[in-house]
Every structure is written in C-alpha cells, then in structure tokens.
Amino acid sequence: MKAEAYNIENIVQKVIEEINNRNNTSNNQKGVFNDMNDAIEAAWLAQKKLVKYNLEFRNKLVKAMREEIRKNINLLSKMAVEETGMGRYEDKIKKNLLVVEKTPGVEDLKSEVFSGDDGLTLLELSPYGVIGAITPTTNPSETIVCNAIGMIAAGNGVVFSPHPSAKKTSLKTIELLNKAIIEAGGPENLLTSIKEPSLSNAEIMMKHKKINMLVATGGPGVVKAVLSSGKKAIGAGAGNPPAVVDETADIEKAARDIIAGCSFDNNLPCIAEKEVIVVDSVADYLIFNMKKNNAYEIKEKRDIERLEKLVINEDGHPNKSYVGKNADYILKKIGIDCGPEVRAIILEVDRDHPFVVEELMMPILPIVRVKDVDEAIRLAVEVEHGFRHTAIMHSKNVDNLTRMAKEIQTTIFIKNGPSYAGIGVGGEGYTTFTIAGPTGEGLTSARTFTRKRRCVLVGGFSIK
Ligand code: NAD
C-alpha cells in the first residue's frame, strides 16, 4: 500500500513537471511561464523539493544567487534604465550591489528557546510555502533579488508578479537567479513568473489556494489589494519622507546629505527625501550650501508655475512621464539650459504645494520655511500623511531628535545623514527594498517570511 502511494505521488509529480516544461516560454527564460496557474504549480513543486534540503544547502543557493547577480549588475542596471526610462545607471549599479551584499540570508533565521523544569521548548522559523511577491517599476531587479534571497533563505518558493512596465528587467533577473540556483544543484522553478505580467494575472495569484503569503512592494493600490485578499499579507507602501533641518544642525553637512539622498537614482527610492522643512534662521544658508552641491534653485514665479504645469497633472497628481528623470532634462523642458552636473532642482514653496504633499519621485525638492522646530515637526508629521515610512532630521539637539522620532512614528528615522543611510548605505544595519510600514514588519528580511512554530519537549534537556 505504501509503495503504491509513493508511485502515484511520483507519477503526479512527473505529469506536473511535463506540463511545466511544455508551458515554460523558452529554454533560456528559466521560471517564466505563459500561464499564472502553471507558474504557481511549478513554484509549489519546487518548494516541496527545497524543504528536503538542509540549511547549509539553502545557504549555498543564496550565495550562488548573489554571485550571479553581481556578475550581471551592469546588464540589469542598464536594462532597468532603458526599459523604464527612469533613474540613473550608476545609481542602479549601487542599488543592485547593495542588495547583493547586504540582504540577510539563512543566518537571519534565529530560533528562540525556553528551558526550565518542564523541559525544552523551541520556537522555530519555518517557511510559509509559496509566496506571491508583487514588485515595483522603481527598483525592479533590486526588489526581486532582495525578496528572492530572503524568501528562499527562509525555505519558500516565490511567484513574482512584476510591474508590466519593468517586465523585461524583472524576468531577466528571475532567469539569472534561477540559473544560479540550478547550477548550484537546487530545484528548477523555485522562482517563477509569467511572460505577460498584468493586473488580472496578479489577481489570479492573489486568489490561488497554493499561494500561502502575499508580499506587495508598491503604491497604496497594491497594498490595499493584498490586504483585502484574505491571505497573510505584507504591505510595503508609498512614502513621502520629510527632511527637517533645525537651527542646531551642521548646515553644510545637512545640505550635502539632503542633495545626495534626494537625487540618488533621481529620487525613485521610496525612502528618498521628498521635501525639506527648515527653520527660518538657517534656511538661506542651507539653500546656499545646497547650490554648492549641484542643486539648481528656481526663484522666478513664472518658472515655478511652468515647472508645476509640467510635472503635475490636472488632477493634482504627478505626471508619470517625469518620474525618475534627470534634473537637467526637466529643467530644459521649462526653458532652462544647464549641464548634467545638476543633480536636483530646489525651490521655496508654501506648505500645501503639490510638490510637498504629493510623492513626486523626481529630483525636485521643495523647501518650506517655518519659524521654529516645533512648527517643523508638526508640519513633517502632516506631510508624511501617516504612511509611517521614512523621515530624516538634521539636528544636534537630542531632545528635538527624540521628539520628532516619537511624533512621526516612521519605520525608518535617519538622524544627520542622507536617507539611504536608513537602508544600510553609510549607516549600520542590513538592507531591504521591501519596507513594510502599513503592516508593521518594518525592514523585511528572511525571518519576516517565516511562520513561528513551537516545538515542545516535555521534561528533558534542561541542564540549568
Ligand atoms: P505601483 O503601485 O504602480 O506598482 C507596484 C506593483 O503593484 C506593480 O507590480 C503593479 O503592477 C502592481 N499593482 C498595482 N496596483 C495593483 C492592484 N490593484 N492589484 C495588484 N497589483 C497591483 O508602484 P510603482 O510605480 O511600481 O512603484 C512606486 C511606488 O512604490 C511608490 O509609491 C513607492 O513609494 C512605493 N515603493 C515602496 C517601497 C517600500 O519598501 N515601502 C519600495 C519601493 C517602492
């Protein structure tokens, strides 16, 4: 009877594998299927194989994935800029390198233990199974690499639903990661996706019974969609990070850090400085120093209005054609000629200006003057919109820093540094490209993608 059951299981697996091979779109796009249901079945099957291996083997797979992406960093960075028309090649290289080097792997899975007179209890971190991961257009390869490392380290298979506007880069990333896994001796299709990503395919994934967890990295729409799915969901949503500068700050450094952070990859990162709120007494000196760091200030009312008309649609939301574009490109469109050394456009505006309230994701940095630090913190809380994402403050006053951190309640709070210090660039700590503010997991890592399980041994192994 046992042998019979084993045979049937084997036959079923073979049939599924054949279906998967048939539907796999091409030999060199490993893991890419025509049909979402097939992509899910294949990842499900691969995950069953993965859990049979030990942690050392998972570690080997993760290492191979890191190395394969490292070898192809220039290619993926170039593809992303060309395909999406957003961001800067040299910054994408830095972002891809960051996920390769600083995304936690298997070592992140730390068990907890309780031991005492009644014995030993372990709290173990087990895989969910197959995770459906929805990824953005702003960091296409970075998010996939980061999610893939953490999710596989945790023992899961992954079905990706990438943004349609970044499908070539996303599918190439998945293909490279699968190649590395297979060459390291791991199962095929541990990471899968579909040839034509779309909202309807994402919906199939969100409803599929073999998807055990959903992880969405993107704007408010997709976070709401996964949270309404009825499945365990992690939402990494939009931000609008304010940078507050008070009168005690090292103004020259603050200006340098803010321009470096806000212009990195043309402001695409969700953590990047999106508006500056500065105490009046130091505002002029801050602006003077920003200009010394390749910021171009627009002062004329006529130019400000032109810029607003260019990058804000009639409905008040950002014009997507200018998201992630270079500052000199945007300036040229309003008749201002300048060289490529200009990294950011700065301008003083009122607190309710769309540049302040909206998440532009362009190298345009609005500056709002306030009378004191109390007003600055109040306004920062207001314009962050309760996203609980990221905030930055430049100050030497510990009380001010503490107060802002408490009041704004963001997942990431950077003190006296550029925003990217918050994801491990020039700041301590690991990196992630999935920052789960709305659902509270924070900076996700392998352990985020696990189920906590308790394993109890009664009356033994306590040697206290
Ligand atoms: P987006 O919301 O347009 O798309 C993100 C992904 O969600 C894409 O794959 C898209 O196809 C999918 N999607 C969108 N609506 C959906 C729905 N209703 N159902 C299912 N899938 C849906 O975002 P984008 O332009 O690609 O990325 C930029 C946004 O993402 C910004 O708001 C940025 O702040 C945010 N973001 C957040 C993080 C984070 O870690 N919190 C990281 C990167 C980007």
Q: Which residues does ligand 1 sit against, CB inside 6 Å?
A: 134-139, 161-164, 199, 202, 217-219, 221-222, 225, 236-239, 270, 359, 433-435
Across 380-398, b (16+ Cβ under 10 Å) vs e yields bbbbbeebbbbbbbbbeee
| Token code pair at residue 276 | 């500056």
Q: Which of 222, 327, 182, 310 is nearest to 266 (CA)?
A: 327
Q: pLDDT, tens digit, for every residue of 287-312?
A: 999 999 999 999 999 999 999 999 99
* Percent over 70 (pLDDT), the chain: 94
Tell how far the Cα of 284 is from the centroid of ligand 1, in angstroms: 36
Residue having the nearest C-alpha atom to atom 14 of ligand 1: 222
Is residue 457 within 8 Å of 119, Cβ to Cβ?
A: yes
Per-residue model confidence (pLDDT) at position 26: 47
Residue having the nearest C-alpha atom to atom 28 of ligand 1: 218
* Percent over 90 (pLDDT), the chain: 92
199 pLDDT higher than 70:
yes
Tell how far the Cα of 161 is from the centroid of ligand 1, in angstroms: 11
Q: Which atom of ligand 1 is nearest to the CA of 218?
A: 30
Q: Which atom of ligand 1 is nearest to the CA of 135?
A: 9
The full length of the chain comes to 464
336 C-beta neighbours (distance < 10 Å), count: 17
Tell how far the Cα of 238 is from the centroid of ligand 1, in angstroms: 8
Tell how far the Cα of 270 is from the centroid of ligand 1, in angstroms: 10
Question: Which helix (H) or strand (E) is 322 found in, with range?
Answer: none
Per-residue model confidence (pLDDT) at position 460: 82
Q: Which atom of ligand 1 is nearest to the CA of 134?
A: 9
Min mean pLDDT across 9-18, 384-393, 431-440 is at 9-18
Q: Which atom of ligand 1 is nearest to the CA of 389?
A: 41
Separation of alpha carbons 309 and 274, rounded Å? 19
- Between CA 244 and CA 253, with CA 247 as vertex, the angle to 5 degrees is 70
**Which residue ranges form the domains of the chain, and what is each CATH number?**
2-237+443-455 (3.40.605.10), 242-427 (3.40.309.10)
| Token code pair at residue 170 | 């996303």
Tell how far the Cα of 115 is from the centroid of ligand 1, in angstroms: 44
Query: Per the confidence metrics, is the pTM higher than 0.85?
Result: yes
